[in-house]
């Protein structure tokens, strides 16, 4: 009998969906573009597995039978047999009875599978078990009820025999004695009689059955001897105590071969012996009134899971392997004192389930796990200052996952580990969204999804066998097959993930303002002192990349403007927020359009070429001509800018000019005296005098200058050490210019950039400091004193300037350097297409495609259409794999799909057609044509292709 398929997510499926929603919210809030891809990929898996569950429900059939007799107080064994008509599937069986529920699951390959389960039989009497059967997808996310619902199973539970067995009453059965007569026995052949239910198959005369077709039973007799007469009144106590004692006596006498009679209220069994007589007696005892009431199970003990211990033993190793792959990147960035406990906890969890003869490893006590959790949290707070930041949060999550493995004892715990692992995978995008990170997260997701099926049903060594031993070849084969299955599942989900990645709305702003704390601020800072930039010069990390629409600017034009330092206390230069009117800007050159791809820095600055005139929405220019965003750049960000050569601040605020003349009192008297001697010169000559001092004073450009004293630092540098980096020269030159009566300030930023095709790579080591001097009629003029000492810093780059300060061109890149540039080009292209795909770029794409934008009518029509098309490959593949490979069998399969009537296990085509005709009498003629065509295609002496064509045509002619 068929029924409608009812599909619904499992508890694990609902938790999986919640995980997808949480990761989606995180991607929206933190702008993790690659995280969208992983989220939508998991979403595609969630959708496709629903179709897998539906297909498995249509292909699976189930039979449940008692495996043998059952005694009260002992488990009743039941044989669960399943068969798959098409592709393999996973079957979940639930048996309910006497207030208890037993769950069993088994993987069903194409050849079928069998499993023996034990249901607790609490009391004697008829035990009716309601059978529920659901098909699951390979991950256990969805559950679909089988269309053909199994019938209830009823078995008779015998009373538990009393132990030890008390003495048997010495009462002979009436009419039984040693009078020389013969009676029923097993000594000599006495004749044949018609077969009666309960006769042993060994006593059937199969020779007569073959000759006459009638079932006959051989009768044997023996000399009549003593037989014991058992009465209900012989046993004291209530009904259960009496049934238990009589059961013990009956089994004891049967084991001795002694005949016995049994008299119960309303039932009498004549004296006899043998297995059939014992079963009849126990059946009578099981049903004697009054029947006991089923006990009420204790709270929380009503659900039993078959093979729970086997699941933990077999599923834990692949789960630990998947978690190790997932947590591996954390070992490269988190403290060793966090990595080591995680590794030890994973190793302990593995040791608990590995077979070790004669020894078992006990779980870690709860108090120790709690102590490790509290200690780890306290240590992270002490070192990171918080548990909510990126570094501390991900490290603590990894520790919690490892602690969970140490106390996992059930399938539910295993599935929680799978979900935690998938969530941990998404957090890696806080650190990197490059191609290698994408590959790692894809591999981690595949391992985690491959481990999930092991928590549904135990691995079996054959189609109808018991669970395989942990660590055997069966488990390794199952893991390999699970990895291939997870890979196929991810591949089928990829088209849907791609469509959603491109078309899913990308909000322009986060849902809430919660920065990724713990992310270190890199690059330039709000203040500058000696040694600040020389430290950055040893950092080769990329600061940003710049793509130009036209020709690249020349090296002397590659000054990327950052913070402007105007307050000086004798040691440190700091930024100030100077109120006042906006300085004038007089454009003198053509526009230069370019796109910056900024790496996360934790700073709000947009490093633009002098002078930025067009900035992105939300950004602004300060009155020091610095491009600033409202929020720090905590994720990779792509911005479009336009710069033009211009005269800055010809009309400047007098208060600002006065502020930029201030010097700390009593500092650097020699430098002040020297600069005062230049006051009689015109402004341009004063600047040239300062540059001449640096050019001819024997100064050296170096990353390792000597330390300067706390007082009179400029004097010590100009007249003593004469060794420094860019910040030394910019700071000293600005001091000299102020002392000479010219307003001066220090500008921080980057200078240069490594050309790689059509774009420039600007690294942290390109950080640079220069000065701006205000000259009447010219405004703020850039003066780079470092270029006087080491011209190669501008013309050839930092590495060349340190070894050949006067070089005019950089050294030609070697093979390794060219390879690095090629990889960077791939990274830049990846960033352009994937990582930097945001709401603005999505709007541009939709506009160019003629869709108008998110929410427009064409968009709303296209999105569901594309989603449906992306699911077609999965549906077509599922349909193809569900059909048998044999052409004739495939035609019958297609017929069962047309009729919505699956074939039963072992059902012949003739029997199936008879059943189908009963349900659809109007199709009698069409079904008979199908049967005849099938027989001709299958059994004809010389079948031809025409016979298969006829069979297919006959199937197509069947119309419901």
Q: Which residues are catalytic, by number?
A: 726, 768, 784
DSSP calls for 134-185: EEE-TTS-EEEE-SSPPPPEEEEEEPPPPSSPPPPP--BPTT-SSSS-EEEE
**Helix, strand, coil fractions of the chain, as percent rounded to 5:** 45, 20, 35
Query: b or e along 78-115 (b: 16 or more beta carbons within 10 Å of the residue's beta carbon)?
Result: bebbbbbbbbbbbbbbbbbbbebbbbbbbbbbbebbbb
Beta strand 612-614 pairing with 542-548: unpaired
Please say whether the beta carbons of 67 and 77 come within 8 A.
yes
Distance CA 303, CA 454 (A): 20
Bridge-partner residues for 223, per DSSP? Answer: 182
Q: How far is CA 691 from CA 737, 796, 854, in A?
A: 10, 20, 58
Cα(258)–Cα(225) distance, integer angstroms: 9
Residue labelled with tokens 């990595």: 339
Chain centre to alpha carbon of residue 502:
21
The first and second tokens of residue 532, run together, are 């600040």
The sign of the CA dihedral 359, 361, 365, 371 is: positive
Whether the bond between 164 and the residue before it is cis, its omega within 30 degrees of 0, is yes
Structural contact between residues 640 and 675, judged by C-beta atoms closer than 8 angstroms: no
Question: Residue 890's closest CA among 910, 909, 915?
Answer: 909
Tell me 744's DSSP state.
E
Nearest Cα residue to 46 out of 22, 69, 12, 82: 12
* DSSP 8-class letter at 199: -
State which H helix or E strand residue 302 sits in: none
Distance CA 904, CA 899 (A): 14
Q: How far apart are CA 240 and CA 222, in angstroms?
A: 35
Distance CA 264, CA 267 (A): 5
Q: Six-digit token pair at 260? A: 């016995």
Q: Are strands 70-71 and 153-158 parallel, antiparallel or unpaired?
A: parallel
DSSP lists the bridge partners of residue 716 as none
Q: Which long-range contacts (CB under 8 A, 24 or more apart) does 718-723 make?
A: 718/670, 718/671, 718/674, 718/693, 719/670, 719/671, 722/697, 722/698, 723/699
CA distance linking residue 719 with residue 252, whole number of Å: 115
Contact 42, 20 (CB under 8 A): yes
- Give the Cα separation of 854 and 846 in Å (integer): 8
- HEC readout, 746-800: EEEEEECCEEECCEEEEEHHHEEEEEEEEECCCEEEEECHHHHHCCHHHHCCHHH
Distance between CA 835 and CA 33 in Å, rounded? 5
Place of tokens 């590659």: 558
The vertex-594 CA angle with 588 and 598, nearest 5°, equals: 125
Helices 726-739 and 669-676, interaxial angle, to 10°? 60
Neighbours of 786 (CB within 10 A): 28
């Amino acid at each position: 009998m068929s029924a409608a398929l009812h599909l619904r997510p499992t508890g694990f499926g609902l938790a999986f969906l919640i995980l997808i929603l949480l990761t989606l919210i995180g991607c929206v809030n933190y702008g993790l573009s690659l995280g969208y891809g992983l989220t939508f990929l998991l979403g595609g898996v969630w959708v496709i597995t629903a179709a897998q569950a539906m297909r498995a429900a249509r292909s699976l059939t189930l039979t449940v039978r008692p495996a043998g007799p059952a005694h009260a107080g002992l488990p009743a064994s039941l044989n669960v047999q399943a068969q798959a008509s098409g592709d393999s599937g996973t079957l979940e069986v639930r048996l309910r009875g006497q207030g208890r529920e037993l769950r069993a699951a088994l993987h069903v390959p194409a050849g079928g599978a069998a499993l023996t389960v034990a249901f607790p039989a609490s009391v004697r009497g008829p035990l009716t078990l309601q059978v529920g059967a659901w098909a699951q997808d390979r991950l256990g996310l969805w559950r679909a009820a089988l269309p053909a619902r199994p019938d209830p199973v009823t078995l008779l539970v015998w009373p538990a025999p009393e132990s030890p067995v008390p003495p048997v009453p010495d009462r002979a059965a009436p009419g039984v004695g040693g009078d020389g007569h013969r009676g029923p026995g097993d000594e000599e052949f006495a004749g044949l009689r018609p077969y009666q239910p309960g006769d042993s198959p060994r006593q059937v005369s199969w020779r007569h059955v073959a000759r006459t077709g009638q079932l006959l039973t051989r009768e044997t007799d023996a000399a009549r001897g003593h037989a014991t007469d058992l009465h209900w009144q012989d046993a004291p106590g209530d009904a259960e105590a009496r049934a238990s004692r009589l059961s013990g006596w009956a089994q004891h006498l049967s084991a001795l071969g002694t005949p016995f009679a049994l008299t119960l209220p309303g039932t009498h069994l004549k004296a006899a012996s043998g297995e059939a007589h014992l079963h009849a007696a126990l059946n009578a005892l099981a049903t004697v009134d009054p029947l006991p009431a089923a006990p009420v199970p204790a709270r929380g003990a009503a659900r039993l899971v078959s093979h729970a211990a086997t699941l933990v033993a077999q599923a834990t190793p692949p789960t630990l392997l998947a978690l190790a792959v997932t947590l591996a990147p954390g070992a490269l960035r988190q403290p060793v004192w966090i990595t080591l406990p995680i590794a030890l906890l994973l190793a302990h969890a593995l040791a608990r389930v590995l077979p070790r003869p004669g020894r078992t490893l006990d779980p870690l006590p709860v108090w120790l796990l709690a102590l490790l959790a509290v200690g780890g949290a306290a240590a992270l707070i002490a070192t990171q200052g918080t548990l909510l930041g990126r570094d501390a949060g991900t490290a603590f999550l990894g520790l919690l996952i490892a602690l969970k493995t140490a106390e996992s004892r059930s399938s539910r715990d295993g599935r929680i580990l799978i979900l935690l692992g998938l969530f941990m995978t998404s957090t890696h995008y806080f650190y990197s969204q490059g191609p290698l990170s994408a590959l790692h997260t894809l591999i981690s997701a595949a391992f985690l999804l491959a481990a999930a099926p092991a928590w549904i049903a135990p691995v079996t060594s054959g189609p109808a066998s018991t669970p395989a031993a942990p660590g055997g070849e069966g488990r390794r084969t199952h893991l390999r097959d699970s990895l291939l299955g997870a890979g196929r599942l991810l591949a089928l989900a990829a088209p849907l993930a791609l469509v959603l990645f491109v078309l899913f709305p990308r909000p322009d702003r986060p849902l809430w303002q919660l920065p990724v704390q713990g992310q270190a601020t890199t690059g330039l800072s709000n203040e500058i002192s000696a040694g600040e930039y020389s430290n950055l010069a040893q950092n080769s990390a990329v600061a940003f990349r710049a793509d130009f629409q036209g020709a690249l600017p020349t090296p002397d034009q590659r000054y990327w403007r950052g913070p402007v330092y105007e307050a000086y206390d004798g040691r440190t230069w700091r930024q100030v927020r100077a109120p006042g009117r906006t300085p004038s800007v007089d454009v003198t050159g053509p526009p230069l359009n370019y796109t910056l791809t900024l790496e996360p820095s934790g700073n709000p600055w947009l490093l633009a070429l002098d002078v930025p005139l067009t900035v992105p929405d939300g950004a602004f220019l300060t009155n020091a001509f610095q491009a600033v965003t409202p929020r720090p750049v905590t994720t990779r960000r792509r911005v479009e800018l336009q710069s033009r050569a211009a005269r800055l601040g010809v009309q400047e605020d007098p208060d600002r000019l006065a502020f930029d003349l201030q010097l700390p009192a009593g500092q650097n008297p020699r430098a002040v005296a020297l600069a005062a001697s230049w006051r009689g010169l015109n402004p341009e000559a004063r600047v040239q005098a300062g540059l001449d001092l640096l050019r001819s004073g024997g100064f050296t450009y170096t990353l390792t200058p000597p330390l300067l004293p706390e007082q009179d630092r400029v004097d010590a540098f100009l007249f003593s050490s004469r060794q420094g980096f860019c910040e030394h020269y910019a700071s000293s030159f600005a001091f000299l210019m102020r002392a000479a009566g010219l307003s001066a300030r220090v500008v921080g930023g980057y200078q240069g950039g490594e050309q790689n095709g059509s774009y420039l790579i600007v690294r942290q080591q390109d950080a640079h400091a220069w000065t701006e001097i205000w000259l009447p009629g010219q405004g703020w003029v850039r003066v780079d004193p470092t270029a006087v000492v080491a011209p190669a810093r501008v013309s050839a780059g930092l590495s060349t300037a340190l070894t050949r300060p006067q070089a005019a061109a950089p050294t030609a890149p070697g093979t390794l350097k060219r390879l690095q540039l090629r990889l960077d080009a791939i990274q830049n292209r990846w960033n352009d297409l994937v990582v930097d795909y945001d709401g603005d770029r999505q709007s541009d794409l939709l506009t160019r495609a003629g869709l108008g934008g998110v929410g427009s009518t064409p968009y709303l029509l296209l999105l569901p259409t594309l989603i449906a098309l992306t699911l077609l490959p999965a549906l077509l593949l599922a349909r193809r794999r569900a059909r048998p490979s044999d052409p004739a069998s495939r035609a019958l399969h297609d017929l069962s799909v047309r009729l919505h009537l699956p074939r039963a296990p072992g059902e012949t085509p003739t029997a199936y057609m008879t059943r189908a005709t009963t349900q659809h009498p109007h199709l009698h003629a069409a079904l008979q044509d199908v049967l005849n065509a099938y027989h001709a295609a299958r059994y004809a002496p010389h079948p031809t292709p025409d016979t298969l064509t006829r069979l297919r045509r006959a199937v197509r002619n069947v119309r419901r």
